[in-house]
């Protein structure tokens, strides 16, 4: 394997875990953070205790607060900034990035104001064709990747050469397997919307509703993801893969999931601002719920779970009433092609 210099922006839990994968593969990783104390801890103690307590980082990772130093001569730049910060961070990187650098992002969300996907935001700020941007997604908790637990993800780009370059960068035969996919819209949409369903799963578990309710929520949540994604131009098959059902399952069933934990706290009656304060980290599903609520109107797509979670998060609806609203919806068919056909055609 050819060893490369890779810049990773920023040093949160997922950025740090992916830095370990890159370093394990022999690449030289510059991990950027705004926090001087965090950079010192990574460089001196080989730890990032706030985000991944107890993990010891390999020597191939060095941290810096200097963006120019992080990006200088980097052959690949991996963006793992929160969706709300992606445009500002990309604007800073644009001053220093090499024109031939491979650009990858691993952020799951939409830009709140514009409703744009992260690949679009990066293309605009880095002045690159959007088809060159690669997105990395799939069922992958940072807490497990940092401990080298077997993990499989997908990298998507409209240009196969870019997807394969990212695949080569990350894949190893020890614990990190990577597939390619040309469907950027599907992979990004699935990665963003699953966080909403994970909030709902946390609410359901917090209310003590059990496995039946959560299985229904995951299944019907996948239908919402696929409906919106297809309306936006995605390949429906993507939602049956790692970025779709795979990521949805892991995020809705694990206590590693920030979104699941936030939903569980909401079920206990805590107000949203207190939940976010206690979490201490970005909960992408909250912003994404607001974005998806608007997108569903924009694309004329029915998203009842998203609508009820929006009402819980931003309109003061109680979780119990949200569940009642979902259960009391008008009867319909599971398969939408049948639901849209006449009864005579079906019979």
pLDDT tens, position by position, 169-179: 999 999 999 99
Number of structural domains (the chain) is 2
Q: What is the mean pLDDT of residues 11-34?
A: 98
pLDDT tens, position by position, 240-268: 999 999 999 999 999 889 999 999 999 99
Same structural domain, 198 and 217: yes
pLDDT tens, position by position, 81-122: 999 999 999 999 999 999 999 999 999 999 999 999 999 999
Q: What is the mean pLDDT of residues 181-203?
A: 96
Q: Is the pLDDT of residue 37 over 70?
A: yes
Q: Which of 156, 182, 208 lies at the terminal end of a domain, its last residue?
A: 182
Same structural domain, 141 and 9: yes
- Domain of 303, in residue numbers: 185-340
Give me the percent of the chain exceeding a pLDDT of 90: 86
Same structural domain, 38 and 87: yes
CATH number of the domain at 148, please: 3.40.50.720
Band the pLDDT of 337: cuts 50, 70, 90. low
Q: Which residues are catalytic, by number?
A: 194
Same structural domain, 212 and 302: yes
CATH number of the domain at 226, please: 1.10.1040.10
Same structural domain, 128 and 214: no
Band the pLDDT of 343: cuts 50, 70, 90. very low
Is 317 part of any domain? yes
Same structural domain, 293 and 230: yes
Q: Which of 182, 203, 227 lies at the terminal end of a domain, its last residue?
A: 182
Same structural domain, 155 and 202: no
Is 133 part of any domain? yes
Q: Which of 150, 182, 214 lies at the terminal end of a domain, its last residue?
A: 182
Rounded to two decimals, what is the model's pTM?
Answer: 0.93
Same structural domain, 175 and 220: no
pLDDT tens, position by position, 145-160: 999 999 999 999 999 9
Residue tagged 């870019």 (tokens): 162
Is 140 part of any domain? yes
Same structural domain, 173 and 286: no
Same structural domain, 113 and 132: yes
pLDDT tens, position by position, 300-336: 999 999 999 999 999 999 988 888 888 777 677 777 6
pLDDT tens, position by position, 274-309: 999 998 878 899 999 999 999 999 999 999 999 999
């Amino acid at each position: 394997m050819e060893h490369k210099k890779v810049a990773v922006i920023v040093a949160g839990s997922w950025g740090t875990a992916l830095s370990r994968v890159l370093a394990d593969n022999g690449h030289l990783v510059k991990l950027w953070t705004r926090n001087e104390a965090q950079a010192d801890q990574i460089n001196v103690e080989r730890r990032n205790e706030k985000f991944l307590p107890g993990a010891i980082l390999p020597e191939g990772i060095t941290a810096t607060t200097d963006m120019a130093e992080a990006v200088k001569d980097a052959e690949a730049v991996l963006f793992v900034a929160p969706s709300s910060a992606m445009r500002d961070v990309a604007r800073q990187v644009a001053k220093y990035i090499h024109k031939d650098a491979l650009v990858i992002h691993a952020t799951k969300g939409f830009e709140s104001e514009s409703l744009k996907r992260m690949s679009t935001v990066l293309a605009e700020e880095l002045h690159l064709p959007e088809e060159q941007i690669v997105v990395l997604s799939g069922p992958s908790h940072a807490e497990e990747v940092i401990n080298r637990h077997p993990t499989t993800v997908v990298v998507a780009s409209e240009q196969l050469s870019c997807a394969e370059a990212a695949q080569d960068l990350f894949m190893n035969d020890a614990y990190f397997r990577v597939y390619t996919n040309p469907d950027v819209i599907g992979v990004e949409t699935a990665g963003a919307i699953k966080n909403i369903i994970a909030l709902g799963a946390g609410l359901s578990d917090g209310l003590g509703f059990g496995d039946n309710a959560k299985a229904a929520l995951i299944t019907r949540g996948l239908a919402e993801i696929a409906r919106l994604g297809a309306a936006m131009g995605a390949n429906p098959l993507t939602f049956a893969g790692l970025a779709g059902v795979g990521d949805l399952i892991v995020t809705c069933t694990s206590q590693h999931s920030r979104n699941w934990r936030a939903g569980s706290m909401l079920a206990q009656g805590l107000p949203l601002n207190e939940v976010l304060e206690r979490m201490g980290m970005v909960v992408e599903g909250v912003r994404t719920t607001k974005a998806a609520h608007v997108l569903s109107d924009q694309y004329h797509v029915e998203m009842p779970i998203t609508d009820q979670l929006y009402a819980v998060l931003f309109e003061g609806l109680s979780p119990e009433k949200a569940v009642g609203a979902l259960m009391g919806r008008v009867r319909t068919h599971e398969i939408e092609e049948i639901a849209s056909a006449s009864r005579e055609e079906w019979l």
